[in-house]
Chains A and B, each alone.
Chain A
Amino acid sequence: MNASSKNDTGADSGEHETNLATIPLLETIRRRGRVWRDLASQYGVTNPDPPWKVNLEATCDALSAEACALPLLERRSEEDELSASLYANVPFPERQLLALAHSMIKRGLVDEKELASRMKQVHDRLISA
């Protein structure tokens, strides 16, 4: 199921504007982050999608259906705008992830500093195993 693609049409009512100001943390990730396309090629992996893509989809679904915090149509509309602007050079699904984080920060659902700090914790945890 790709819940987001079903509802693409008419996603943007034009009633709200996406905040397109850059977010330093996400800019750093955009510049520095290694995308799946490159990693897969380097390691000889043929899976077209990164393992985290399924989690990203579920997060988007849960944020809409469970929390009503970020409705599907709004998120998709913003993802489209951000994909055509700030994250235009980032491949899918990395740009979907950046757009989701962007939308969440701009709405105050997560704080940029808090997210940066959590990323460090997650990274430390992953390299400890």
Chain B
Amino acid sequence: MAKKHTEDEHGHRPPAPMVDEISDFEVLEMAVRELAIEKGLFSADDHRRWTEYVHTLGPLPAARLVAKAWVNPAYKKMAVTDGVKASLEVGVDWINDMPTHFGTPSDYCNLRVLEDTPKLKHVVVCTLCSCYPRPILGQSPEWYRTPNYRRRLVRWPRQVLAEFGLQLPPDVEIRVADSNQKTRYIVLPVRPAGTEGWTEEQLAEIVTRDCLIGVAVPKPGVKANAKRPVHPAVHPVHHDH
């Protein structure tokens, strides 16, 4: 299945051009957001969920793969050892189909499923461009393509994950998987407590896109396409007008 690899291509095509310049507007956006989080107006996790909400709807094929692996140990074993074969059962054929039916066709066809444990957390990046397992996960979010994420995740994974609202205990090892020409990754997160007896469909709903990239972990009740709860502000601001 391997085709000739050219070093300078890193993938199906030369990487798409990027704006490699930091603008005042990019900095302003981050500063506003960080201050709002520090002041307790919302949390980093609230923000990440809103970001995810606006970009994803419904369970992704990768979410179904994870849910199936959670309920079926034999399937889980296959997923971890042969992600391409496991993908067939959720309707994704990496070898024979056009990879995505949208975007740029390419020759990548090796999916690895990275299994988390309570003491090991995986997270996916593409440091060189923006390689992403699109057939099974759809289009990549915009932040995935930013130099900010790509450069900093490999140097300071714990800090970057915290910026997404995911704070891991110090004894949890973090492994960053760098996607490349042939190999794409998804994360198989730990099945959360409180989901005992759930059906595959129920489980798939809580495996959101960000859980599959590894910047979030699934939680019962947190679905990508669920309406976000509205609750009273912790520190309400009173308006005079």
Q: Which residues of A contact B102 (CB under 8 A)?
A: none
Q: Which residues of B contact A121 (CB under 8 A)?
A: 31
Contact A126 B22 (CB under 8 A): yes
Q: Which residues of B contact A97 (CB under 8 A)?
A: 25, 28-29, 32
Contact A129 B19 (CB under 8 A): no
Please tell me if B75 contacts chain A, counting CB pairs below 8 Å: no
B: interface residue count bin? 35 or more
* Interface residues in B132-163 (C-beta closer than 8 Å to A): 141-143, 145-148, 151-152, 155
Contact A115 B31 (CB under 8 A): yes
Q: Given A54-B141, A62-B46, A68-B232: A123 and B29 within 8 A (CB)? A: no
* Interface residues in B34-76 (C-beta closer than 8 Å to A): 34-36, 39, 41-43, 46-48, 50-51, 53-55
Contact A100 B32 (CB under 8 A): yes
Contact A119 B28 (CB under 8 A): yes
Contact B22 A123 (CB under 8 A): yes
Q: Given A1-B53, A49-B142, A129-B155: A63 and B42 within 8 A (CB)? A: yes
Q: Which residues of B contact A15 (CB under 8 A)?
A: 241
Closest A residue to B144 using CB positions? A51
Contact B29 A56 (CB under 8 A): yes
Q: Is the interface of A mostly helix, strand, loop or mixed?
A: helix
Please tell me if B1 contacts chain A, counting CB pairs below 8 Å: no
Contact A122 B42 (CB under 8 A): no
* Interface residues in A86-129 (C-beta closer than 8 Å to B): 94, 97-98, 100-101, 104, 107, 109-110, 114-115, 118-119, 121-123, 126-127, 129
Total residue contacts A-B, CB cutoff 8 A: 173
The total of chain A residues at the interface (CB under 8 A) is: 60
B178 to chain A, nearest CB (A): 15
A15 to chain B, nearest CB (A): 6
Residues of B at under 8 Å CB distance from A? Answer: 16-36, 39, 41-43, 46-48, 50-51, 53-55, 141-143, 145-148, 151-152, 155, 228, 230-233, 235-237, 239, 241
Residues of A at under 8 Å CB distance from B? Answer: 1-3, 15-17, 28-29, 32-36, 39-40, 42-45, 47, 49-59, 61-63, 65-70, 74, 94, 97-98, 100-101, 104, 107, 109-110, 114-115, 118-119, 121-123, 126-127, 129
